Every structure is written in C-alpha cells, then in structure tokens.
Structure 1
Amino acid sequence: MGRGLLLDGQRKSVEPMAARLGEDGNRQALAHFITTSLWQAVHVRARLAWRMAPAINPTALIIDDTGFLKDGDASACVSRQYTGTAGKVTNCQAGVSLHLASDTASAAIDWRLFLPKSWDPASPQADPGKVARRERCGIPPDMGHVEKWQLALDVIDETRSWGVDVPLVVADGGYGDTAAFRLGLEERGLHYVVGSSTTVTAHPHDATLHIPPHNGRGRPHQPAYPPGAEEREGTGHRCGEAGGSAGAVAGGLPPGQRPQRVQADVLAVRGTAGSGPRDARSARPSREPSCPRAGCWPSGPPPNEPETVQFWLSNLPDDTPLTTLVRLAKLRWRIEHDYREMKQALGLAHFEGRTWNGCHHHVTLVSVAHAFCTLQRITRSPKETAPA
C-alpha cells in the first residue's frame, strides 16, 4: 500500500494503484486492507507521532481542516458544507487534522472525520436518507455530530496522551474565533497563536465588565460592558468602556503601542497572507461578556489603511518579542504545504471514502507516506535527493 501511494501516477485510489503494482497489486486485498480490515488507525498514528516528534523537534501543534470533494452521496459523512478547498459550499467530506511543525518541517499525525448534523440521528437537522446510510458506511452507532473546534481539542488530547507534549497551538480564524476553543487550550495549560476574523466585536484594553444591580425580579443581569461617553478624536469609537467594530478599536491605538496583556494579545499584521510582515501593532482586548474567561476579541486595522490585515490572538508571555509572534503566526502556513503535497502527490483526496474505517485508514496511510517523504528531505543531503 505504501509503495502504491509513493509511485508516480495520476490517481491513488485502489484500482489504479493495484494496476501500477503489477504482481503485488491484488486489488481485492488492497480494498479489504483499507475499507474493512480491523487494524486500528490510532495505533499507527501513535507510532507515527513517536517517530516524527524527535525528527521534526516541533515548535507547535497546528490545527486545521480540509475538504474532500465528492460527486455523489455514497461516501461516509458527505454533505453540502463550506470547505476552503473549494472556497465555497459544496458536496464534500471534511477532516480535522493535527500537524507537528517547526520552521523547517511538518507532518500530519492525527485526524478526525467531521460528521455533519445531517448524519446525526439525534440532531433536529438529521436527513433521513443519510441516517439510513450510517450502517452501510460503518459509522459507529454512538458517533454523533461534534463541532470542529471540539474535534481539534480531542486530537490535541489524544496526541498528548501519546507522550507528544508540545506547549503551543497554532490555528486559523476558523478556530481562533471560537471562545470555547481558546478556553479549552487555556484549561489544558497550552499557549496559542490563533487567527481571528475582522468582523468580531472588540473593546479597548481598559474596558471592564460590570454587573447591573438586580432588583430581585426576573433573571439576574449578565455581565456586560457599559457604553462609553465620549469618542476619541478622529478614531470613530468611544474611549474607556465602549466597544465597537474591531477596526474602530484598533484605529484608536497610536502606532507601535503595545499595552500590557491580561489574557491574550492581538497581533494585527499588515500585508497579504504570503508576504513577510512589514509592520505590526497589538492591542490588549477585553473579555467577552457571555464568557469572561473564554477569550478575547481582536482589535482591527489602523484607520485609512487599504492593505490586507491579518488578526491573531495569543496568550504567550508578555516578554515574547513581536517578531516571534509574527513568525509563529506565519508558521500556520506549513499546513497548507502539507495538504498540497498529500493531495497532489500522495492521493489524499483520491479515495472514495465509502466507509468510516476506510476514511481513517486512508488518511493514516497517506500521513505515513508523507512522513516518509519528509524524513527523506530532512535526513539526506540535497545531492542525494536531487533527480538524476
């Protein structure tokens, strides 16, 4: 199976691989090995993590998800949903992955297949047709819908249970915007550098939560930020307690200001996703009224700035250099390199994925093949790996 994934070829599904393997290519045996064999993918992933952790010496655990585009509805957990792979809502499977990453190498070591609400019989949004296909797809009866941020925490817990304990997590805004995810990382004693969108609500660093007095009738009031009284000149937002759009709050910061952090810092990096940092600012956001410990909302771009702005939240120590924060934020893009290599060269998206076990077996085998390629790159000299 490993040779089949590594050999040149357009498709890396069972039948094309069996044809390329010649006498060793027993199609029926390969199909059985991937789809119905009882070997435990989690055991292989654990051994993979033990092998790759010392080789990579990871700086961070990177969390992300990717889509596997599908034409039909026979694959396990396929549904119309958004995926960054296509940049739109389309028919696909989605998987959450965890990667070990350093500045020079990375490797996918754990996966979870995302089960949409339409496949969960306990969900009000359950689709009777998809629920009826659960048994045929081999989906465990007790497996229900779990949000992607919770799957991310699950793979982090599993990886740490293997003895691979990396104290920093990096993720994009799909996870960074979720307060429960950030709170989960803090409860586990983990540092994080996570993306955040530009549309979230933000508050100045000096904002504090207040609980209005309760007269004994009805429900007690929830903590909230009271409105401010006056606006900072030229910034378009109120000072003191007031909040507003992320851009309005960040716009009131003098260039280069970096207030002391309480829970998390916001890093706004100007420039496109692939460019190097040209300038950076940070602001200390306040806590959310509905969940005071759950995280912080980001500040936004400075006023009159036409450039693309990226936002990141971090709870790293106050003395962490700003250049280090930028470097760690940019480290997330190693996962895009992994996805591209696994999909284009190793067939990550070529498998039909008809069964639950088959999906997990396939992504595990592709991860092993990708790890082999990574080890070849980092252990051999450029002359040894250069084509003849």
Structure 2
Amino acid sequence: MPLPPDRPPSTPAGTAICDGVVTGLSATLFSVLPRRDQRLKAEQYLRGLRHAKGRKSIRNIAGYIGGATAEQGLHHFISDSTWDWQPMRAALAAHLEQAAAPQAWVVRSLPIPKAGEHSVGVDRLFAPQLGHTFRGQQAFGVWFASEELSTPVNWRLLLPDQWLTDHERRERARIPEGLARESREECATAVAIETAQYGDLARRPVLLDLRGGAIRPTLARLAAARMPVIGRIDPSCRLTVADRALPGFGAGPLPALQILESTKGLRRPVRWLDAARRGTSRTSLASGVRVSLLDPRTGRQRSMLLLGEWRDPQRPPVGVWLTDLLNAPVGSLLQTAKLTRRVDRDVAEVGEQVGLRDFVGRSFRGWHRHITLVSAAHAATVLSAQGVALDLRRDQAA
C-alpha cells in the first residue's frame, strides 16, 4: 500500500527538508527490521503518528493510512509481531549523536493517566510533575537534549508489584520473565545505564530528579557505570562541607540549604538560555560548594559539588543540585541543568502531539513498540523544524 504524502511546511524548501528528514530517518531506523513489510508498516506508523487526527491510536493511524485492512496489519505489527525495539532505539540514539550533538541526557518521568485497569503497569502512582497521585502508568525516558532540541531515545516502564507477582496479569500483559520490581529512582537509573550500553555513544552528563528518592545508591550505580551526573536534590539533603576554608567544615553532615545559605559570598551571576520560553535569556545567581557524602559501595566519603541557584538574592535558592563534575564551571553546570526545561517544552509541544500517552493496547511489548516509534516521530518533527529554521536563517542572511 503506498504511503500518503507527509504534510509539508508552508514553503517548498520546507517541504523538501521535511521529506528528506523523514525519508532519511526511516531508512536509518527501520533498516534494523528484517522484513520489507515490517519496514513499510514502520514508516506508515511513523507518518500516522505525525499526521493522523486526534488520539494516536492504531485505529486513527490506520484511518490516515487506509482503513480497516491497515488497522489489522498495524495491530499485528505493534502488538503481536516479534521485532525487537532495542536495536531501533540504539539506531535512533546513534543518529541523534551525529545529527543533533546532545549536551546532556535528561531522564524524565512520564505519567500516563488511564481510566481502566488492564493496561500493563496501571496502578495508583505518584507523579512529581503533577504534585499528586494518579491512576495510570508511569514510564521513564532518556532524552538527548541541547538548547536547540530534545528527543527521547529510550524508555522503561515502571511495573508495580501486582504486575510482576500476579501470574494472570503477567500472562495477559505478556511481561517477559526476568523483570523485577524497581523503585522510581531504580527505574530512572536503569534506563540511563541501559542507554549507555547502546554502543559508541559519547557519555554525556545525566540529568535526573533525585528529590524524594534514595540519593546515595542512585549516585553509586551511576558512578559504577562511569556516567557523570547532575541530580536535583531536596534542600534538606544532608552533606558534609569538604572545603576547609568554608563555614560548616568539620561540623559533620548539614542540610544542603544551610550549606548554601552560609556560603552566599560565593554566588556569581550566570546567564542562561530559557528554552521553555523560546530562547529568552535569563540571569540567576549561582554558587558551587565542594561537599562529600558516603558511598554505600565503598564505605568511603565521595567528593561532589553542591550547586545552588537563586532568582532573588534575599530568598532561599530555587534549585539545588549535586554533581560529580567537580572541575566544570558553575555557569556551565547551571546552563546544563536548565536543559530539563527544553525537554518539558518538547514534551508539551511535540511529544503530546505524536502520541506519547496515546497507546490504547494492553501488552508490555505493544507499549514498547508504540513508544519507540513515537520517539522516531518526535525526532523527525524536531529535526525537520531545525532544518527549516536553519534554511530560513540562511535565506535571511543571503
């Protein structure tokens, strides 16, 4: 069945760029599929995710492509086929490494509200972004991010106890053997470490939210995997001042907020690009303090840098992070930490539109195949937009 044309941007040049990006990305990612019919269905699904009206269900995608016959084939391709999604995710990560030069890997949780009880992983869960519990699924994604764009490349679905211990549920959702229960921070850490195993990817700083979680085991796991980290922490997190010249040295573990407030003299203005507000430049005060905390793997104190950000110098810091990038300038660290805002913007403006939360099937494998192709659709959208923007800037400069 022929593919319907991709919806073009408003100019012929934009149309050519968009078509080139989609065609090139499809050729790169879908070459990992062993059969020609699978490659065709993958490209159909990709285009449907980008352009089908309404919710990106298999039915609506099939309606964009060609109706009831297409629906049956796409349902089998997503839910019942045997293709492995990990090689496609690895290919996407390698492509973005070359095409988009990510500055960091942002680990972000994705709450997926669900009304029913049968979709894999559904439970009563807490979502920090929402500030309350909800009923649904929770996934963790790794996003390759820069100031210009961000794209998800890997996913892990949080599986509550009942989905792993209830034989009937496990069979119905076709959950593979060998998966064990994970906490939120364990799931977030595992998806980052898994991404690092994709091949010849450059190790970028991993940004993740450690507030309310087990900080020390998480940092220890990432250190064992040799992955640099910038983790947002609670101001109440207790750390030990490691610099003899600073207040608090020798006082034992102190709250991070107390350490930062007692070293306000170290603050310096930092200018950063706010991607959440379309490139608006903003200025904060920031400081970095050498601290240490116990490494549960070795039983020794581990050197870290405590980073604080202030918007109002008379008020408490609005952000507190912990990083093992000890020699990086404070300004650079804060600019990198702000890439989470780029991800939040792209989730809302692109990810929601291409179906991040729209899978209506019930199986573990079906969810992973859908979210993998959603990641490809997201990448195609942001790379096309970047290409059109670059072309426009070249025209304006000519």
Residue 166 of structure 1 aligns with which residue? 203
TM superposition score normalised by structure 2: 0.74
SS at structure 2 position matched to 1:350: coil
Q: 1:136 is matched with which residue: 150, 172, 175?
A: 172
Q: 1:380 is matched with which residue: 368, 388, 395?
A: 388
Residue 311 in 1 paired to residue 320 in 2?
A: yes
Residue 2 in 1 paired to residue 49 in 2?
A: no
The 8 Å contact of residues 191 and 315 in structure 1, kept in 2 or not, is answered as yes
Residue 280 of structure 1 aligns with which residue? 286
TM superposition score normalised by structure 1: 0.76
Q: 2:223 is matched with which residue: 174, 186, 197?
A: 186
Q: Which amino acid aligns with 2:64?
A: R
Cα offset, 1:295, TM superposition: 6.9
The 8 Å contact of residues 172 and 332 in structure 1, kept in 2 or not, is answered as no
Q: Highest Rg: 1 or 2?
A: 1
Distance change in 2, residues 1:324/1:299 (3 Å) = closer
List alignment gaps of at least 5 residues for structure 1.
122-127, 208-231, 233-237, 259-266
Task: Report the Cα distance in structure 1 between the residues aligned to 2:333 and 2:357, rounded to whole angstroms.
Answer: 33
The 8 Å contact of residues 291 and 306 in structure 2, kept in 1 or not, is answered as yes
Cα offset, 1:308, TM superposition: 5.2
Q: Which amino acid aligns with 1:336?
A: D
Task: Report the Cα distance in structure 2 between the residues aligned to 1:363 and 1:93, rounded to whole angstroms.
Answer: 13
Cα RMSD, aligned residues only: 3.2
Residue 251 in 1 paired to residue 261 in 2?
A: yes
Residue 145 in 1 paired to residue 153 in 2?
A: no
SS at structure 1 position matched to 2:170: coil
Distance change in 2, residues 1:23/1:286 (3 Å) = closer
The 8 Å contact of residues 45 and 110 in structure 1, kept in 2 or not, is answered as yes
- Count of aligned residue pairs for this structure pair: 336
The 8 Å contact of residues 93 and 114 in structure 1, kept in 2 or not, is answered as yes
The 8 Å contact of residues 307 and 322 in structure 2, kept in 1 or not, is answered as no
List alignment gaps of at least 5 residues for structure 2.
1-44, 394-398
The 8 Å contact of residues 230 and 322 in structure 2, kept in 1 or not, is answered as yes
Residue deviations 1:239-266 (CA, integer Å, cap 9, x gap)? 63244433223322241179xxxxxxxx
The 8 Å contact of residues 98 and 111 in structure 1, kept in 2 or not, is answered as yes
Q: Any residues of structure 2 matched to 1:318-329 within 5 Å, and which?
A: 318=327, 320-329=328-337
Cα offset, 1:153, TM superposition: 3.8
The 8 Å contact of residues 5 and 369 in structure 1, kept in 2 or not, is answered as yes
Distance change in 2, residues 1:242/1:381 (3 Å) = closer
Cα offset, 1:73, TM superposition: 0.7
Q: Any residues of structure 2 matched to 1:260-275 within 5 Å, and which?
A: none
SS at structure 1 position matched to 2:251: coil
Q: Which amino acid aligns with 1:179?
A: R
SS at structure 1 position matched to 2:78: helix
The 8 Å contact of residues 41 and 361 in structure 1, kept in 2 or not, is answered as yes
Identical counterparts, % of pairs: 27
Cα offset, 1:89, TM superposition: 0.8
